[in-house]
A and B are shown apart, each in its own frame.
Chain A
Amino acid sequence: MTTATISEVVPPVPAPATAPQPGELTKDTYKGKIHPDWCPGCGDFSVLSALQTALFELGLKPHQVAVISGIGCSSNLPGFINTYGMHTLHGRGIAVGTGLKLANHDLKVICTGGDGDGYGIGGNHFLHIMRRNVDLTYIVMDNQIYGLTTGQVSPTSVKGMKTKTTPHGSVENPINPIPLAMVGGATYIARAFSGKQKHMVEIIKGAIQHKGFSLVDVFSPCVTYNKDNTYQWFNPRVKILEEQGHDPTDFHKAMDKGYMWGDEIPIGLFWKRTDLPTLEDLEPVLHEGGPLAYRKLGIPEDQAKALIAELM
């Protein structure tokens, strides 16, 4: 064969720093094979780290977790974490994630992506996953810019923002994901900030533990292409809802908080409800027999007879 094998082309991937015994979880367990290739200082490092910590603290085994993304800088995350992963198409992470979750509801499914990915090209899937209340967690690294394609306006770019495709400033209103998710029917709606990693860990843990669709919109600054919404810009503005005694079961207060922007921008858990069943709960097909993906194929004799009888 004329094709090169992997070992001839690159040095073998170094083994993780500590090689844990089977069954033993450490924080390093969740480290991926590849070191992230994000720009130094990119907010996405903090999200990755928070997610790894959350998985570790929740004691989730890597093979029981699937991290699924779309396309974008942020969407490269599944390559950097040691769980099952998929790096799908631009905007399609949550659609693929829904299929995967329904096919194997024993898995913890975490979708990750960017603002363009989730609120732009994938917007339709976003609307519908919320009303379905699929039990998965969606972490959007919202840098208010298209990072991977080198700095174009995004659906969350603020009005007036100058980008490569809005050289005179954007004239369009941005999407506000928090109120959008509230009217869309999401059952866990939170925001985090890459500059507050500890807080983010708690928010992500809450999201993963929540039964139903959880959205974590993260201010994850793009240090290369968004010179407006920087760490320095966010730092004095973000206010942690948990420290303000916000009641996440109060819909109207949550809406009010969601609309706040400017000198004070709330982060934390805006809204949570636990009274709604998930899609999986409502699907009798999943009630017995374990994950669909692992079930035996083929039609039992009596059912086959009944199907044929319908045609007679």
Chain B
Amino acid sequence: MQILSKSKLEEALNQLGKNAELFVPLARGEESGFYPWSSYQAGSDRLMLDALNVLLPPKSVVFPQTERMYSFTSTGPAVEIKETFESPQPRIIFGLRACDAAAIACFDDVFLTMGFIDSFYQARRDNTTIVAHACYEPGANCFCEAMGVDPTEPVNADVIIRDAGEVYIWESKSSKGEKLTAALGSLLENKEAAAPGLKPFQQQANYEGVAEKLKGMFEDPIWEQLAATCQTCGICTYVCPSCYCFDIQVKSWGEEGYRFRCYDSCMYSEYTQMAGGHNPRGNERERFRNRFLHKLQFFSERYGKPLCTGCGRCIVACPAGINIVEIINNIKEADTSVRA
């Protein structure tokens, strides 16, 4: 078994950061998210590998909030593409949890399967190595297991690290992972260490059968009730590791310009605003319902798994205290037989 002693962690990160842009979970001032290790400031930043997770998910590494796509010149009706900004440089996400790794697996489904390949995503994804960090102590809002995610065996990982006290157990899972193992060389040692057992979850979501049941609940009065206090602020979708909606917009000056994509959210009315003035999701009930149906029903119909990996971030950040675990359980328990 290979292990990385915690006392050699910084050295290992420096080593990995030599050949790739390395992202690590940090608490930085008021912020909590994944940032480049090269920007780490000892003293003011705090490495969050010993914490449960960070608030802003690592999705931005493979799917940035704002991403330039191409630049152009347009003269009259003729448009010439000048440059395409695919971004193939090597990147490593170090220390993400199983929920976040599973969310990237959802992105892979969306951007790389079903007959369409998003080349911008592919360029980033192909060149990203994932070092996932197994979880043994779920936090106050975690419910990954209920959503089909095993916190101790992260999917999509090139390497899995396991916290065994003084050391991390280092398990390479792919050829990309082997490269990191090779790069670390003698920083890794051969030694036995034991991972702890998984502690119980505090949140209990019962998702079984929910996707099926939702098929008949589009017009159910439950949505009115569940959405009553939602402020359609969109925070939940921005902090969610698995939300991937984006808009394509343009910046231009004279004949020059570029197109970029940026995160969007189904919680916004502008998201479904149509050119003719109609908005099929004009009110918060319709927008709220869409978010949950996409997460809990539509995605599962198309890809065989929910678009929620149980990370609990939306529970933490929602100003109205809306809790997806309660929503799942409410749907599960709702008596739809008495309704029209």
Chain A complexes with chain B: no
